[in-house]
Amino acid sequence: MGKLRAAITGINAWVPEYRLTNHELSRMVDTSDEWIMQRVGIKERRILKGDGLGSSDLGEQAVRGLLSKTGTSPDEIDLVICATITPDMFFPATANIISDKVGIKNAFSFDLAAACSGFLFALQTGATYIESGRYKKVIVVGADKMSSITDYSDRTTCPLFGDAAGAVLLEPTTEETGIMDYIFRSDGAGRKFLHIKAGGSIRPATHETVDAKEHFIYQEGQSVFKFAVVNMADIAAEIMERNNLRAEDIAWLVPHQANLRIIDATGRRMGLPPEKVMINIQNYGNTTAATIPLCLWEYESKLKKGDVLILAAFGGGFTWGSVYVKWAYDPK
Ligand code: UT7
């Protein structure tokens, strides 16, 4: 019998209906479709409108659809991990709220915060529970309502982000498929370039913090870009080397969608032709923990059993990583 691994046996994603186009943004701040397309590659992003709706509502839709698509009863789920940096509230965990909304009652659940690398870190965490042999069905969901922390009067950040959720089901396999390897890194020194200034324990919310717009994303874009473009490409190349993978062995690069130029640099570093790189940033922007499952979901019908995928991300923290996956099923 082969080694016990965690295989992705189902994928689903959900995006809200409202499309915030570059055209609409150019009426809100001093920007243009041309600038955003040239520098970032985003055409539109989805926004969750409506009072009282949060990341759990995005996650609920993704998980509900995943359960129905895979014919899984909520009672069968052992564990739910939600990667998010926009939790519904400080506590309880958004994973708990999603579980309650979809009727998952025999599981434990928790959140994991690693910004744009959150889905990859959560995926491997879920996989480790499966590999332990104690857990049979784990849901990993990436859900971020980025519009809740975006300042729509700041042209340097507001074109970048969108709202979405994506979820995968992990199950054990002894076949040569599933999550094969991963490399992760964090560097807290990067926090100065990308963070939210107030609302945490270091600077709780006050009238002053609200007036100063300190509850929104603060990003020094150029600095983050320099770290992202090098580290995401390096860590994707590193996992290839460690597993003796050549460019021709790889079916798909599944990159975090923050900037088309970072994605292109990663693909080039790996020696991959553009047609092997999953890209949907133009339609959704940077949805933080949701970008990678959103890509997998859109490309699912093209994936075949045994396909070699390299998942790669870079984000706030800094955090970055790559995961080597052998896809576990043919298109249904
Ligand atoms: O996923 C989490 C990790 N985050 C990332 O990976 C993001 C990494 N960073 C980036 O993707 C890029 O740095 C940005 C897309 C955020 C910005 O692109 P850039 O090419 O680094 O632009 P810049 O910040 O160097 O700005 C260039 C110019 C500036 O004008 P001046 O000083 O040259 O006159 C900006 O003021 O572009 C200006 N600018 C804009 N112009 C029109 C900045 N934002 C805009 C805008 N529309 N929205």
121 and 239 together in one domain: no
Task: Please state the rounded mean pLDDT for residues 181-199.
Answer: 98
206 and 218 together in one domain: yes
Short-list 292, 311, 332, 191, CA closest to 250: 311
Strand-pair category, 5-14 with 163-173:
antiparallel
Centroid of ligand 1 to alpha carbon of 224 (angstroms)? 10
Residue 292 lies in a domain: no
Distances (CA, A) of 48 to 17, 25, 53, 61: 7, 16, 7, 12
172 and 186 together in one domain: no
Question: Do residues 161 and 185 make contact, with C-beta atoms less than 8 angstroms apart?
Answer: no
Q: Select from 179, 202, 236 the last residue of a domain.
A: 179
| Res. 1: pLDDT tops 80 | no
Cα(12)–Cα(231) distance, integer angstroms = 28
Stated as kind and residue range, the H or E segment containing 23 is: helix 22-28
> Per the structure, how many domains does the chain have?
2
Write the pLDDT tens digit of every residue in 116-141: 999 999 999 999 999 999 999 999 99
Residue 85 lies in a domain: yes
Write the pLDDT tens digit of every residue in 45-83: 999 999 999 999 999 999 999 999 999 999 999 999 999
56 and 67 together in one domain: yes
134 and 203 together in one domain: no
Centroid of ligand 1 to alpha carbon of 91 (angstroms)? 34
Q: Which residues contact 265 (CB under 8 A, 6 or more apart)?
A: 229, 232, 233
Q: Which residue has a Cα nearest atom 46 of ligand 1?
A: 31
Q: Which residues does a 6 A CB cutoff place in the pocket of ligand 1? A: 31, 35, 39-40, 116, 155-156, 159, 221-222, 224-225, 228, 258-259, 262, 286, 315-316
Domain coverage including residue 60: 5-179
Would residue 271 be called left, alpha or beta, if left means φ above 0 and alpha means ψ between -120 and 50 degrees? left
| Res. 2: pLDDT tops 90 | no
Cα(229)–Cα(222) distance, integer angstroms = 11
Cα(74)–Cα(331) distance, integer angstroms = 24
pLDDT for 14 equals 98
155 and 169 together in one domain: yes
Three-state DSSP class for residue 180 = strand
Task: Please state the rounded mean pLDDT for residues 222-240.
Answer: 96
The β-bridge partners of 5 are: 173
25 and 161 together in one domain: yes
Residue 332 lies in a domain: no
pLDDT for 169 equals 98
141 and 258 together in one domain: no
φ, ψ (nearest 5 deg) of residue 92: -70, 170
Give the largest CA-CA distance in the chain: 62
Quickly state the pLDDT bin for 332 (edges 50, 70, 90): confident
Which of ligand 1's atoms lies nearest the C-alpha of 40?
15
| Residue 192: CATH number of its domain | 3.40.47.10
Which of ligand 1's atoms lies nearest the C-alpha of 286?
1
The tokens 């129905």 sit on which residue? 68
20 and 72 together in one domain: yes
Write the pLDDT tens digit of every residue in 267-325: 999 999 999 999 999 999 999 999 999 999 999 999 999 999 999 999 999 999 999 99
Catalytic positions, written as ranges: 116, 256, 286
Centroid of ligand 1 to alpha carbon of 83 (angstroms)? 26
Three-state DSSP class for residue 294 = helix
